[in-house]
Structure 1
Amino acid sequence: MGAVMYHPVNSLVRLHRQGYVKGEIIPGHCTAILMATAAEIRTGNLVAGAEALGIVLTDAQARRFVRYYAELARWNERVNLTAITDWDAAQSLHFLDSLSAARALSPELLASGEFVDVGSGGGFPGIPMKLAFDGMRGTLLDSTAKKTAFLSHAVETLELRDMSVRTGRAETLAHDADMRERFDIAFARAVAEVAALAELTLPFVRVGGVVVLHKKADIAAELSRAETALDTLGGSLRESLPVSISGMLGDRTLVVIEKHSRTPARYPRRPGMPAKRPLR
């Protein structure tokens, strides 16, 4: 790793008071961080919000979230990774929302489980989960090469061990022998119906594993429509878990699906079909 780059504006980030990230901002300064005020790099909300979810973040982990944010904001200037670039909003809408997935997982899975993050985009929820639970192993999957270029950069820059990145459609990669029914956990935050997301995630998960979907609070009708799809794909609803996240308007729901039998070989169907014609 190269030497730390110095800049006069670093005086804004050499903060040693409680609630602030201590020390220098890391190499690869982005405009958002260089022009930040002290308030914009406070980590108190992140740490407190994580604690409310039952997660204790160390100072070192909080610093890595700031570095992740810096890289995300810098790359976002040329790659459409997120519409949320404000630090305070990112803490709630990206980081804490991602970390809420921990509520659906056992201590054993949080310690050493292997996950696939389907439609990872800017790395959510996979990278925040890895930053908080270093023993986890994961694969970040996205169909857009520019996004997976960022994901590969983030994995390298943040020195995330046991993490890989794959470019491709879930409908295609789920049929690869090295990806199919391999993972303990599949995550997805994509905006799609539960039935469609189940078809894109369950084929990756081993029998006995789980799928965790981040959804809005009121999804009773959507879950009802997904019953046939879950049964067809070898899954069943374990629970829908309400989650309240500091700084986020409206509650969220974690949809937790258990894999009880192998997914038939024909699923997922060809690219686009799960979303266009969800199983009914």
Structure 2
Amino acid sequence: MIVRAKLKEYASALGISLEDVQLEQFDCYAQTLVEWNQKMNLTAITEPQEIVIKHFVDSLALLTAVELPQGAKVIDVGTGAGFPSVPMKIARPDIHLTLLDSLNKRVVFLDALSAALGQENTCIHFRAEEAGRSPAYREQFDLATARAVAHLRELSEYCLPFVRVGGRFAAMKGGDIDAELAESSKAIGLLGGKVEEIKRFSLPDESRRSIIIIKKISQNTTKYPRPSAKIAKNPLI
């Protein structure tokens, strides 16, 4: 379905080498995504070259932005169709991946996708603010990530509680994030985080992207995360 040589070329430009078996997995991913998308809303991006650039290459860029130890524990919060973490795991099979989504039919898809790719992922149907208060998930991960349209201020409250002290939260954003970042500084500090780095890059189609890397420097108080209605009504500003 996808042009494997193009994906290999784009990944190589990021410094990521993909073997034939991995390219086959990406092709399987694209086919599975398009097939399931016919019966549920997973993505508006279904053209093969756009899947390669806007889903796969965009996701793989996270591996160049954050250094993950061997066997790292990663949680993808509000993962939807598995981006960015499932492409990351294709390139780094050693990662222990937890896929969290609040919509059960997406979790059914993620279970089927994981099986098709031969990945042993933990797929959980859970609201992020509830999972973040559970001892099974709270401060258990080397990396939490989210590729979401929510404001960084709210994303930080959903995601930082999952991260162990010394770990990182990586928020995947568009190109223009300076105002949003400034508006989120108080929330990040209250949640035990500190902005470590901002990686800015362009995809092969020249669309601009940013990855905000936040290091967890202290534990969260038990006050956070709050229920979603409180997060929406009273943002940490």
TM-score (norm 2): 0.97
Q: Is the 8 A contact 1:98 1:124 kept in 2?
A: yes
Query: Which of residues 94, 101, 106 in structure 2 aligns to 1:147?
Result: 106
Q: Is the 8 A contact 1:172 1:271 kept in 2?
A: no
Q: Distance in 2 between matches of 1:274 and 1:87?
A: 37
Match of 1:20 in 2: none
Q: Distance in 2 between matches of 1:89 and 1:49?
A: 13
Q: Distance in 1 between matches of 2:233 and 2:116?
A: 37
For the pair 1:88 / 2:49, whether they are aligned, the reply is: yes
Superposition deviation, residue 110 in structure 1: 5.2
TM-score (norm 1): 0.82
Superposition deviation, residue 221 in structure 1: 1.0
Q: CA-to-partner distance for each residue in 1:222-276, whole Å, 9 max, x for gaps?
A: 11111100110000100111022212x4210000000000011111110243344
Q: CA-atom RMSD, angstroms?
A: 1.2
Q: CA-to-partner distance for each residue in 1:44-88, whole Å, 9 max, x for gaps?
A: 221111111111111110010000111111111111100101110
**Relative contact order: is structure 1 or structure 2 higher (C-alpha 8 Å, sep ≥ 6)?**
2
Q: Distance in 2 between matches of 1:239 and 1:117?
A: 20
Unpaired segments ≥5 residues, structure 2: none
Q: Distance in 2 between matches of 1:275 and 1:115?
A: 26
Q: Distance in 1 between matches of 2:232 and 2:42?
A: 21
Aligned 1:156-167 pairs, distance under 5 A: 156-161=115-120, 163-167=121-125
Match of 1:265 in 2: 222
Q: CA-to-partner distance for each residue in 1:3-33, whole Å, 9 max, x for gaps?
A: xxxxxxxxxxxxxxxxxxxxxxxxxxxxxxx
What is the SS of the residue equivalent to 2:228?
Answer: coil
Match of 1:56 in 2: 17
What is the SS of the residue equivalent to 1:47?
Answer: helix
Q: Distance in 1 between matches of 2:77 and 2:116?
A: 21
Counterpart of 2:19, as a letter, is T
Counterpart of 1:99, as a letter, is L
Counterpart of 1:171, as a letter, is E
For the pair 1:253 / 2:214, whether they are aligned, the reply is: no
Q: 4+ residue runs of structure 1 moved beyond 3 angstroms?
A: none
Identity of aligned residues (%): 40
Match of 2:140 in 1: 182
What is the SS of the residue equivalent to 1:230?
Answer: helix
Q: Distance in 1 between matches of 2:17 and 2:203?
A: 15
Q: Distance in 2 between matches of 1:242 and 1:110?
A: 22
Query: Which of residues 167, 172, 183 in structure 2 aligns to 1:225?
Result: 183
Match of 1:279 in 2: 236
What is the SS of the residue equivalent to 1:102?
Answer: helix
Structure with higher Rg: it is: 1
Match of 2:93 in 1: 134
